[in-house]
Every structure is written in C-alpha cells, then in structure tokens.
Amino acid sequence: MSEPILSLRGVNKSFGPVHVLHDIDFTVRAGEVTALVGDNGAGKSTLVKCIAGIHPVDSGEILFDGKPVHIHGPRDAAALGIEVVYQDLALADNLDVVQNMFLGRERLSGFLLDEAEMELAARRTLASLSVRTVKSVRTPVSSLSGGQRQTVAIAKAVLWDSKVVLLDEPTAALGVAQTRQVLDLVRRLAEQGLGVVLISHNMNDVLEVSDRIATLYLGRMAAELPTRELNHSQVVELITAGRSGDLGLARPDVVTI
C-alpha cells in the first residue's frame, strides 16, 4: 500500500500562552473520507488552518506524499494540491461561478482573460461531478442557494486537480436536503481517489460518510480509528471525555491544558 497522501507528525501550535495543539499526529489517505471531530475549541479549525498554511506550525513535521514539506501560506498549500472549503460559504458574491472557481488563478490568452476556456473547464468539472443543479456557470454566486454555493466551492477543488480537500463544516449553514446533496458529493470525491477531511458536528453524517474518524480532545489527538469499529456513543464519549473504554487518551486525569 502506498504512502498516506498527507501526514502530520508531532505538530504543536500555540497562540501566545494558549497551547492549542499538542503533539498532533494525523494521517489522510487518498480515497478515504477522514472525519475530524471534537468539541468546540478542541482545535479542529486550527489544525485545518495549519494544514492550509494560514497558521504556521510551531514544531513538528508535515509530510505530503511521503516527503517533508513547509507550508508558509495558502499559496504553498494550493501548489501542493490542498484545497480548503470553509463553513461560511466563502465565495465572492459579486462574481459568477466561473470567476469564483478561477479567482486568483485566472487563465490568460495573451494579455486578456481566456473566458471561453475557463467557462468550458468549469462546465466540464461540474459535469464530471454530475452536478446538474447549477443551471448556468455564468450565474452570480449571490443568487445560488447554500447547497449550490458549497457545491461550487467543492468543485473548485476538483477543477484544480487537488489531492487533498479539507472541508470545515461544509454543511453547518445548510438545510437537511442540501446537506444530503453535499455529503453525496463528499463521498464521490473520495471515490475518485482524493483524500478528504471532513469536519462536522453531526454524528449521523460523520458515521454515514466517513471511513475513519479522528477525535480531538483539548488539543490532543484522542483516537484515530476506522469508522466501522466505532458506534455513536463511543464517538460521543471520545469527543466529550477524550476516552471511551480502552479507546482514547490513556489517563485523562494527567492531561494538562
């Protein structure tokens, strides 16, 4: 079996006196959905932002495709093939679908933007994901529903041939039906061979869509286990107490914050 596409070893991160991430080991494999769960403030979003290059790590190693890498900013992450989709539907409202998908990385023909080429690529990508709910790629993003916006954000990752997609609560702002459509897309991304990290608070979604579950507890990695070996209450215990039976952190009484 080949190397994990992304792995973190002993990553630490502090904001001033607050030690947010303690010696985190975290692995993302190509073709798997790894769910990242934890209570509020457990360090999920910080971990994602460290991988995305928004926060530099204080110590520890990040390996991409088996090779150590240094991610100094979002551009480095994008160049490696790491794409992030945020919970707050982070697209530019005043731009259309094509412009959003190519934002900051526009294709040129001579000195002009190659609009036709970009439109074609955007359409092809949406079709390859069999996303047919977005009517026209020239619709301004402001007129799309939450689910459609999230679909566009995820399609962006496919367009740029990303290897790892990090989804930070992609369904937090969505209704039930739209959540189902986005989760369906998440599954299909992994089936195409991408490494997917899904942050979610909804246990049913996590158990349904993920292949592995990584639980953060107060900035430590409590457990990283195949989903099939876990049940609902075990995951909840891991999130709230950092341990469940033999699983999780060994002695919670000596854990210091």
Partner 1 sequence: MTTTPTSAARPDDLRRHNRALVLRRLHVSGPSTRAALAAETGLNRSTIKALVDDLAENGVVAERVPTRRTGAGRPSLLVLPQPNAVVVLAVDIRVDQVAMALVGLGGQILGRCSWGLRAETRVPRETLTKIVDNCELLIEEAGVEVAAVGASAPGVVRRADGLVHEAPNLQWTNVPLGAWLGKALDLPAYVANDAELGALAEHLRGAARGIDDVVYIGADVGVGGGVISSNAPLRGTDGYVGEIGHMVVRPDGLPCYCGSQGCWETEVGEAALIRALGLPDDAPRGVIAAELHQLATQPAELMQRLGEFAQWLAIGLCNLVNLLCPRLVVLGDLFTELPPKLIEHVTDLVRKRSMVSRALGGVRIVTSSLRNDVKLLGAAELAFEQVLATR
Site residues for partner 1 per CB under 8 A: 1-2, 5, 29-33, 130, 132-133, 176-178, 180-181, 183-184, 187-188, 190-195, 208-209, 211, 226, 228
**Between 36 and 209, whose beta carbon lies closer to partner 1?**
209
**Between 1 and 254, whose beta carbon lies closer to partner 1?**
1
Minimum distance, C-beta of residue 173 to partner 1, in the bound complex (Å): 16
Backbone angles phi, psi at 147, to 5 degrees: -65, -40
Minimum distance, C-beta of residue 177 to partner 1, in the bound complex (Å): 4
- Residue 31's nearest CA partner among 230, 174, 190, 145 is 190
Minimum distance, C-beta of residue 57 to partner 1, in the bound complex (Å): 26
Are residues 24 and 11 in contact, defined by beta-carbon separation less than 8 angstroms? yes
**Between 3 and 114, whose beta carbon lies closer to partner 1?**
3
Minimum distance, C-beta of residue 192 to partner 1, in the bound complex (Å): 6
Rg over alpha carbons for the chain, rounded to the nearest Å, is 19
Measured CA to CA, the distance from residue 32 to residue 125 in angstroms comes to 21
Minimum distance, C-beta of residue 124 to partner 1, in the bound complex (Å): 14
Minimum distance, C-beta of residue 249 to partner 1, in the bound complex (Å): 26
**Between 156 and 163, whose beta carbon lies closer to partner 1?**
163
**Between 192 and 240, whose beta carbon lies closer to partner 1?**
192
**Between 45 and 181, whose beta carbon lies closer to partner 1?**
181
Backbone angles phi, psi at 117, to 5 degrees: -60, -45
Six token digits for residue 21: 């991430």
Backbone angles phi, psi at 229, to 5 degrees: -90, 0
- Residue 80's nearest CA partner among 64, 67, 92, 94 is 64
CB atoms under 10 Å from CB of 27, counted, come to: 18
What DSSP letter does each residue of 89-116 carry, written as one string?
A: --S-TTSBHHHHHTTTS--EETTEE-HH
